């Protein structure tokens, strides 16, 4: 990227997103930029001797699946559930690990597998993402599976920690009914 010079880099970005121009105008040197490096690590079991790990400290990934905050909140809810289930701390931390293990393993594996499709120097995987996957993603049951993947609901992480997924259809309906009058006024 640097070899091509600042202007070449800017013109590539502007070709994709012209509205970035005011931001790009402020950059006069590559040194003003910070390179984002993403690490991938999984700590299993998510506990040690009288210590417990939640969120990125236990399972960091690239942000492609948009699941990091979601996973951290699931960890917190699972720890709460585990502490309710047992008065023995050691046992409760084991329960916490068991409640989260499979979901974490699945999403860590998915993230590791899918990241190169979004961030890599290769040409083949991004091409597959933009062409083959874009078409395949319209064929059932892939839309449902992809939806569950980006919602983090594969393997039902909520049920096992005593929570239930909200009725999104009802919520969307309720939001629609509150938004409708505003639209009428406008
Ligand atoms: C570019 C990008 C986009 C993302 N997009 C999404 C998304 O769309 N959806 C999603 O769910 N997730 C997303 N994530 C991931 C998400 O931000 C993280 O997974 C989530 O913030 C992890 O929460 P955490 O509480 O484990 O860690 P953090 O949010 O990192 O919190 C850790 C806190 O500990 C503090 N800390 C560190 N060391 C010490 C210390 N020694 N003493 C005291 N405090 C300390 C830090 O300052 C920080 O405030 C994204 C991440 C990035 C980088």
129 in the same domain as 66: yes
Domain identity same for 19 and 80 = no
pLDDT, mean of residues 14-34: 96
Tokens representing residue 31 in the block: 């040194």
Atom of ligand 1 nearest to the CA of 60: 19
Q: What is the CATH number of the domain that holds 70?
A: 3.50.50.60
Q: Is the CB of 153 under 6 A from ligand 1?
A: no
The whole-number average pLDDT for the span 166-183 is 74
Q: Ligand 1, atom 25: nearest CA belongs to which residue?
A: 55
Asked if residue 73 and residue 153 are part of one domain, the reply reads yes
How far is CA 147 from each of CA 22, 30, 65, 115, rounded to the nearest angstrom? Answer: 35, 38, 11, 17
Q: What range does the domain containing 22 cover?
A: 2-32
20 plus 57 within the same structural domain: no
Instruction: Give residue 57 CA to ligand 1 midpoint distance, Å.
Output: 9
Let me know whether 28 and 45 are in one domain. Answer: no
Structure tokens at 18: 């012209």
pLDDT per residue over 49-86, tens digit each?
999 999 999 999 998 889 999 999 999 999 999 999 99
Same domain as 88, residue 45: yes
**Whether residue 91 sits in one domain with residue 58:** yes
Q: How far is residue 52's CA from residue 96's CA, in Å, rounded to a whole number? A: 9
**Residues 55 and 136 placed together within one structural domain of the fold:** yes
End-to-end CA distance of the chain: 48
User: Which residue spans within the chain are E strands per DSSP?
Assistant: 41-42, 47-48, 51-52, 59-60
Q: Which residue has the higher pLDDT, 121 or 69?
A: 69
Specify if 169 maps to a domain: no
16 found inside a domain: yes
Alpha-carbon distance of 101 to 60, in angstroms, equals: 14
> Based on the domain organization, do 24 and 62 belong to the same domain?
no
Alpha carbon of 35 to ligand 1 centroid (Å): 17
- 180 falls within a domain: no
Q: Which atom of ligand 1 is nearest to the CA of 58?
A: 26
* Distance from the alpha carbon of residue 53 to the mean position of ligand 1, in angstroms: 13
Q: Name which residue leads in pLDDT, 36 or 142.
A: 142
Confidence of residue 177 (pLDDT cuts 50, 70, 90): low
């Amino acid at each position: 990227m640097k070899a091509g010079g600042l202007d070449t880099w800017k013109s590539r970005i502007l070709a994709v997103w012209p509205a970035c121009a005011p931001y790009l105008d402020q950059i006069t040197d590559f040194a003003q930029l910070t390179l984002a490096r993403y690490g991938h690590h999984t700590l299993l079991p998510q506990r040690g001797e009288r210590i417990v790990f939640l969120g990125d400290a236990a399972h960091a990934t690239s942000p492609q699946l948009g699941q990091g905050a979601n996973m951290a909140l699931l960890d917190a809810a699972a720890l709460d559930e585990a502490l309710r289930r047992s008065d023995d701390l050691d046992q409760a931390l084991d329960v916490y690990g068991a409640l989260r293990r499979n979901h974490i393993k699945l999403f860590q594996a998915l993230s590791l597998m899918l990241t190169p499709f979004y961030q890599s120097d290769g040409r083949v995987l991004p091409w597959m993402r933009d062409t083959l996957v874009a078409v395949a993603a319209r064929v059932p049951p892939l839309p449902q599976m992809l939806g569950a993947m980006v919602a983090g609901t594969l393997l039902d992480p909520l049920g096992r920690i005593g929570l239930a997924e909200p009725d999104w259809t009802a919520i969307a309906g309720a939001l629609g009914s509150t938004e409708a009058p505003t639209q009428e006024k406008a």
